[in-house]
Amino acid sequence: MEYNDKIKHSVKRVEGQVKAILRMMEEEKDCKELVVQLSAARNALDRTIGLIVSTNLEHCVREQIEKGEDTESLIQDAVNLLVKSR
């Protein structure tokens, strides 16, 4: 699968958040602030996972349809990936 600039940008944003979290730890920031940033990073990762799964699903479904094959298992696999990521 090809990963477009939108997906790469999402991962880079998470990378920036994680670096900021490490910096906050080194600066011994308040735990409440740290948890807020950790939660934001987790949410950003969750959104990125959703983006990757949905983009991949769309691509794979189109291929299956072109081949005249069933798409049910692909959709179930995508749902399972999303459930496992939570």
So what's the pLDDT on residue 8? 94
**Torsions phi, psi of 14, nearest 5?**
-65, -40
State the Cα–Cα distance between residues 47 and 51, nearest whole angstrom. 6
Give the confidence band of 83 by pLDDT, cuts at 50, 70, 90: confident
Domain ranges of the chain: 5-85
Across 18-32, 51-65, 66-80, which has the greatest mean pLDDT?
18-32
Q: What does the pLDDT read at residue 85?
A: 74
The Cα 43–Cα 33 span in angstroms is 15
The model's pTM = 0.76
pLDDT class for 79, splitting at 50, 70, 90?
Answer: confident
Name, in order, each residue with C-beta under 8 angstroms of 13's C-beta and a sequence gap of 6 or more. 44
Distance CA 5, CA 21 (A): 24
CATH of domain 5-85: 1.20.58.1000
